[in-house]
Amino acid sequence: MISRELVFGSSDQFEVLAVLQTGDHMVLSVQSRSEGCACPLCNMFSTKLHSYYFRKPKDLPAFDNKVSLRLRAKKWYCLNTQCIRKIFTERFHHFFRPYQRTTDRLREKLLNIAVLMGGRPGEKLCRTLHISASSSSLIRIVHQQVVSNPSSVDAIGIDDSRIQERR
Ligand SMILES: [Zn+2]
């Protein structure tokens, strides 16, 4: 099994260049393999490279080590002359979100820990798992979840029928 499959499963979006170990911290040096990207504003596909940039999201622990990625990602020119976005950064759906400092899979794990254990016990569990997360950051992840509003009523409770009987 090659290292890319070990880290990213079936996705071929990334290439693992190196694994650097410092104490109990493992840094995976990763590079995007994309040859182009769709503009997030107008959706036109671009292959005109502008520059590179680095992101350093925290990831799930591995082999009893903290893990973070050092991702070399790309910026692209938007080729649509009508678009107001001239330059954009590539997107990594299912792995990282823009401006997020953790991978999606780590964030999902932190959400599960926060919901099951709460802030302070969750923080203690994270410490034993070699994940850096404070109780306040765990609670913040729970509060940031989007709760959808039901568009229609699926069921009527027993109290509703009592109201009708009184009329
Ligand atoms: Zn555009």
47 CA from centroid of ligand 1 (Å):
12
How many Å is the Cα radius of gyration of the chain?
A: 22
Residue 130 falls inside a structural domain: yes
- The answer to whether the CB of 113 falls within 8 A of the CB of 141 is no
Residue 120 falls inside a structural domain: yes
User: What pLDDT shows up at residue 150?
Assistant: 66
Residue 125 falls inside a structural domain: yes
37 CA from centroid of ligand 1 (Å):
10
Question: What is the pLDDT averaged over residues 141-163?
Answer: 70
pLDDT at residue 156 tops 70: no
Of 9 and 32, the one with more pLDDT: 32
Residue 155 falls inside a structural domain: no
32 CA from centroid of ligand 1 (Å):
20
Residue 59 falls inside a structural domain: no
75 CA from centroid of ligand 1 (Å):
12
77 CA from centroid of ligand 1 (Å):
8
Give me 134's structure tokens.
Answer: 């404070």
Residue with tokens 């925290």: 58
- At 58, the pLDDT band (50, 70, 90 cuts) reads very high
Range of the domain at 112: 102-145
What is the DSSP code string of the chain? --HHHHHHTT--SEEEEEEEEETTEEEEEEEE--S-EE-TTT--EE--EEEEEEE--EEEEETTEEEEEEEEEEEEE---TT-S--EEE--BTTTB-TT-SB-HHHHHHHHHHHHHH-HHHHHHHHHHTT----HHHHHHHHHT---PPPSS-----HHHHHHHHH-
> Which residues are within 5 Å of ligand 1 (an ion), measured at CB?
39, 41-42, 78, 80, 83, 85
Residue 122 falls inside a structural domain: yes
Residue 12 falls inside a structural domain: no
- At 2, the pLDDT band (50, 70, 90 cuts) reads low
Crossing angle between the packed helical segments 119-128 and 135-143, to the nearest 10 degrees: 120
38 CA from centroid of ligand 1 (Å):
8
Q: Which of 53-67, 92-106, 150-164 has the lowest mean pLDDT?
A: 150-164
Total domains in the chain come to 1
Question: What is the pLDDT averaged over residues 51-56?
Answer: 92
120 CA from centroid of ligand 1 (Å):
44
46 CA from centroid of ligand 1 (Å):
9
42 CA from centroid of ligand 1 (Å):
4
User: What pLDDT shows up at residue 46?
Assistant: 95
82 CA from centroid of ligand 1 (Å):
8
Residue with tokens 């040096």: 29
Residue 123 falls inside a structural domain: yes
Question: What is the pLDDT averaged over residues 157-163?
Answer: 58
For residues 96 and 32, what is the distance between their CA atoms, to the nearest angstrom? 12
87 CA from centroid of ligand 1 (Å):
8
pLDDT at residue 120 tops 60: yes
